[in-house]
Structure 1
C-alpha cells in the first residue's frame, strides 16, 4: 500500500454562510443630512477563526466603515459576516491560505452587500466597496508576523 493511499483526501465545502452581527449608527442625524456632502471613508477589515468539531471552522469577516463629513461622523456601519467551512485533509501550510484568504474571499461579497443595504436604509448614498485582494493581505500578514513574532490575527 502506498503512502498516498493512507493520506486523507482534501475536502472543502461551505456548510453555512450567515450574518453574525450587524450595526449601523448615525450619531449626528438629522444634522448630517442638511450639510454639504463631502465624505471621507475609513475602511477596516479583520478576520476571526474559531475551530469547530469534525474539521469544521467558523470564519468571521469583520468589515467596519466609518464615514465622516468634515470632522463629523456621518455614519458607522459594521458587519460580521460568518461562514462554517469544512476543511479536511489540508496540510498546515495549506490551511493558512485557506483560512486567511480563500474563505474570507468567499464571505466578502455577502459583507459588501450587507454594508450597501445598511447604508441605503440609513438614508445615505450607496456604498459600493471595491474588491479586496485577500491573497495580498494574507501575504502581508505573513510578512508582518515574521518581523514581529507573536501576532496571529489577520487585519
Structure 2
C-alpha cells in the first residue's frame, strides 16, 4: 500500500480532457468574396480563461479568434474555444501562473490551430497555417502590464483585488 501513496508535497500535473467548448465560423461575404483577388489580411486574437472546478481541478479555455479580410470585406471569422481539464497538486503559488497561462495554452493551441485550419479549408478558402505562439512572451507582457497598472492603482490608492473564480489573460 505504501507504494501507492504520493509523498506529501510532490508536484502532480494531469491533463484529464481536451475538447472544443465552442466553435463559430462565418463567411459573411460569400460567395462574392471568392471572385475577388485573394490578398488576405489575417488577424489573430487569443484569450485564456481559468475556472476552478474543484480544489485541484481546473478548466483552461483558450479562445482563438481569426479574422481574415480582403480589402474592407471580411472573408471569414472563426472563433474556437479549445478547452482542457487539468488536475494539479503540490505546486507553489508562484508556479501556477506559468502553468495555467503558458504551459496549458501551449498544449491546447495545436488542437485549436487544427480546428481553424479545417474550418478554413471546408469553407472553400485557401489553406491557413497559424504560426507558433509564444505564450511565454504573452504571459511576461501581461505580468508587466499588471505590475505597471498595479503600481499606478497603488499610487492612486485604488488597488483592486483579483476577481474570484475566473481569470482572464
- TM-score, with length taken from structure 2: 0.85
**Alignment correspondent of 1:153:** 168
Distance 1:129 1:37 in 2: 18
SS at match of 1:9: coil
Deviation at 1:52, TM superposition (A): 1.0
**Aligned twin of 2:36:** 35
1:95 matches 2:96: yes
Determine the structure 2 residue equivalent to 1:66.
Answer: 67
Match of 2:77 in 1: 76
* Number of the residue aligned with 1:52: 53
- List alignment gaps of at least 5 residues for structure 2: 1-5, 151-159
Give deviations 1:120-155, integer Å, cap 9, x for gaps: 00000111100011111111110010011358521x
**2-structure distance, mates of 1:141, 1:122:** 34
Secondary structure of the equivalent of 1:108? Answer: helix
Instruction: Return the alpha-carbon distance in structure 2 between the equivalents of residues 18 and 103 of structure 1.
Output: 13
Output one character per residue of 1:25-83: Cα deviation in whole Å (capped at 9) or x when no partner. Answer: 00001000111111101110010000111401100000000000000011001100000
CA distance in 2, matches of 1:136, 1:54: 28
**1:9 positional shift:** 1.2
**2:155 aligns to what?**
none
- Structure 1 distance, partners of 2:23, 2:124, is 17
SS in 1 for 2:147: helix
- Structure 1's consecutive aligned runs of 4 or more residues displaced over 3 angstroms after TM superposition are none
Residues of 2 paired with 1:108 and 1:120: CA distance?
18
Once the 2 structures are TM-superposed, how far is the Cα of residue 7 of structure 1 from its aligned partner? 4.2
> Structure 1, unaligned stretches of length 5 or more?
none
Aligned to 1:106: 107
Kindly name which structure, 1 or 2, has the bigger radius of gyration based on alpha carbons. 2
